[in-house]
Structure 1
């Protein structure tokens, strides 16, 4: 069985996103652009989804308890769950949103313009290792991010919860 090569644009994005220069620039540009366009289009457009599937996650701040909305790349799974990767573009510290989900795992998710509640669970042990292997198949630059940092990249699985009654 032969595997199809990804399109040239995806191959180029993978190569560029694995660089240190991208890791310095992207955290300032990508989330801000995604957030602005997502708000402007009322949840219909998320520019970074041209390369990776993405969602906007709204979780309460770990310290403040205030809602924090952040656009994130995610890996949809066959069973209707999603995996979030706390890579922080290969920077040395965990992204703030991971602390928010650890403190307050019940969150909101906007997926392709649809809003619904989710519960986040930090993956550990064998489950994390199996998921990490699939994450690397999904987006190989995550391996470059992990190679240049000492911390272990956090993985979260998001599961949809029933909507609260009106």
Structure 2
């Protein structure tokens, strides 16, 4: 790695610290009965939501707290895994079974996930870039493209299944 690459590469805490912080966040959410840990997005700042998926191998519900913003009725997040190399387990779960639940500060929504592509991805990535100016530098730390995940409300017919 050249001196220039080191100078432009964003700093990330050690992986163990990131995993510990995620664990603390989930614990605070659980212990407070959901009163602590979620927030609505505001001008220039992402919100925090809880996503519940079904494990692709276990069939067990799995919950994770993620950053998000709203795009009309949709909720948008990034499958970044703390900017680590592997895909996050929740994203692998959603690719196997796209139906999920999100808990936002104003309530619960049943959603269906898809990865944004083409023009939709470019537009939503641009919105994320407005929130985090270092987004492209962080994304460059990953060997694969970071999925922009759209969580769209399920239709009434889907909810009744």
Change (3 A) 1:92 1:113: same
- 2:68 maps to which residue? 74
The reply to whether residue 29 of structure 1 matches residue 20 of structure 2 is yes
Runs of 4+ in structure 1 deviating by more than 4 angstroms, as ranges, are 47-51, 162-165
Return the offset for 1:116. Answer: 2.5
- Please tell me whether the aligned partners of residues 38 and 50 of structure 2 are also in contact (alpha carbons under 8 angstroms): no
TM-score by length of 2: 0.79
Output the CA distance in 1 between the equivalents of 2:70 and 2:40: 12
Query: Higher helix fraction: Structure 1 or Structure 2?
Result: 1
Q: RMSD of the TM alignment (CA)?
A: 2.3
Partners of 1:87 and 1:142 within 8 A in 2: no
SS at match of 2:77: strand
Q: Could you tell me which residue of structure 2 aligns to residue 46 of structure 1?
A: 37
8 Å contact kept, 1:60–1:104: yes
User: How far apart, in 2, do the equivalents of 1:154 and 1:76 lie?
Assistant: 16
Aligned residues: 146
Q: 1:115 to 1:131 in 2, by over 3 A?
A: same
SS at match of 2:120: helix
Cα distance change of structure 1 residues 24 and 47 upon mapping to structure 2, 3 Å threshold: farther
Map 1:8-157; keep pairs closer than 5 Å. 18-20=10-12, 22=13, 24-46=15-37, 52-77=46-71, 79-112=72-105, 114-157=107-150
